[in-house]
Amino acid sequence: MIFALGAFDGFHMGHQRLLETAKERAEKSGTGWGVITFEGHPQMLFNKDSFKLLFTPEERDMLINYLGIPIVDKVPFNITLADMLPTDFLDHIAKRVSIDGLVIGENFHFGRARLGTPEILADLCAERNWSLDVIGSFRLNGEIISSTSVREAVLRGQVESACEMLGYPFMIQSKVIKGDGRGRVLGFPTANLTVKPNKIYPARGSYAGISHINGKWYPVALNIGYNPTFEGSRGLHCEAHIVGFDEDIYEKTITLHIISRNREEIKFAGADALVQQLKKDIKHAKAKAADYMRCFPDVLDKFARVGN
C-alpha cells in the first residue's frame, strides 16, 4: 500500500497533490493507496487553548468521502506518539497497516522534537524497502498554500480565497438548535447552528452559501456574529436563512458551504433597517449561489453524493 502521510487539517490543494501522487504510485505498483493521518490534530495536544481546527472530525470525514480516499488509518495522537523517535514512529504505523511506500510534503516533520525530517525519512524508508515521494509546496498566484494560510483567510473572512486554496468551499457542519425566533418574527426564519468551540469560524459578518437538504441545493444567507442590534444577545451566533426552505429541521445536522462574504457585521438603528439589509443580503446570496452552481456543478454533485 502507498500512503500519503500527514496531519491533513483541511485537505487543501497541496494535500490533494499528495493524494494524487499516492494514487498514481499505487496504480504503477499494482497496489492500493490511502492516507495515514492522526486522530486528534497534533496542535490540539500542544496548543489546545489557542488552536482551532479548520474542520471538525465529522467534517473531515465528509471531505475524506468527497475526495474518494479509499483507506484512512487514523493514528491516535498523544504524548507517547509525539515523543517517539522517528524510527519508532515508523515501526508503530507499520504495525497498523501494510506499507510499501509513503508520500509526504516537503515540510513534513515527525517524531520527538520534530526530528523526523524528509531527509531522515528517506534513509528510514530505504532501510525498510519503502518508496518515498517528497512533494514540493503547491503555489497559487505565487503564494505557497498551507493549512495556516487557509486558516488565516477564513479568520479574515476571505472565504473566496480559502475556497481557491481548498479547491472546494469552506464549510460548517452543525446541528440546528432552537433560537429566540426573532428571524421568523422579522419575516426571515433562520436555522440556528451550534457553535463548536474548537472550530474556526469566519470573521463576523454576512455571507452567501449553499446547503444540500433533502436532495436539493438551496441558497443560504448566513450571519456570523453577536447580533449587536438587539440587547441581551450573548455569545457568537451562526444563523442561516435558507432561501426557499421552511421545513422543521430542529436537531438535524446540516452542512453550509460558504462561498462569498457580503459585508461586515453591522449594528442597525432598529428592526426596520435590519429588514432592509436582510433583503439585500438574500439577493446577494441567491446571486452568488446561482453563480457557484453554474460554475462548479461537479463539486456540488460530489458533495451531494456524500451527504451530511
Reply yes or no on whether the pLDDT at 292 is more than 80: yes
Q: What pLDDT is recorded for position 230? A: 63
The 3-state DSSP class for residue 116 equals strand
> pLDDT grade, residue 181 (50/70/90)?
low
Which residues in the chain belong to E strands, given as ranges? Answer: 2-5, 33-39, 72-76, 101-105, 131-135, 139-140, 143-144, 170-177, 191-193, 205-213, 216-225, 237-242, 253-264
- The answer, yes or no, to whether residue 182 has pLDDT greater than 90, is no
Q: Which residues in the chain are classed under CATH 3.40.50.620?
A: 2-143
pLDDT at 106 exceeding the cut of 90: yes
Give just the sign of the alpha carbon dihedral 268, 273, 278, 280.
Answer: negative
Q: Pick 45 or 199 by higher pLDDT.
A: 199
Least confident of 56-65, 92-101, 129-138, 230-239: 230-239
**Pairing mode, if any, of strands 143-144 and 170-177?**
unpaired
Q: Where in the chain is the domain with CATH 2.40.30.30?
A: 168-306
Classify domain 2-143 by CATH number: 3.40.50.620
Cell of 19: 493524494
Q: Is the pLDDT of residue 233 over 80?
A: no
State residue 274's pLDDT score. Answer: 84
> What average pLDDT score do residues 88-96 get?
97
Query: What digits encode the pLDDT tens for the residues 203-219?
Result: 999 999 999 999 999 99
CATH number at 168-306: 2.40.30.30
| Residue 211 amino acid letter | S
Query: Which amino acid, 165?
Result: M
Cα–Cα distance measured from residue 220 to residue 217, given in angstroms and rounded to the nearest whole number: 9
Q: Which of 60-64, 175-179, 211-215 has the lowest mean pLDDT?
A: 175-179
Given a cut of 60, whether residue 232 has pLDDT beyond it is no
Residue 200's pLDDT band (cuts 50, 70, 90): very high
Closest residue by Cα to residue 204 from 163, 242, 233:
233
- What is residue 269's predicted lDDT score, i.e. its pLDDT? 67
Please check whether residue 210 is in contact with residue 220, taking contact to mean a CB–CB distance below 8 angstroms. Answer: yes
Say which range, 172-186, 233-247, 279-293, has the weakest mean pLDDT. 172-186
Q: What is the pLDDT of residues 252-283, one digit of tens each?
A: 999 999 999 999 888 776 778 888 888 999 99
What is the percent of the chain with per-residue pLDDT over 70, rounded to a whole number?
A: 95
What is the predicted pLDDT for the residue at 57? 94
**Whole-number mean pLDDT of the chain?**
92
At 26-36, the pLDDT tens digits run 999 999 999 99
CB 244 within 8 A of CB 255: no
- Nearest partner of 287 among 207, 219, 187, 241, judged by Cα: 219
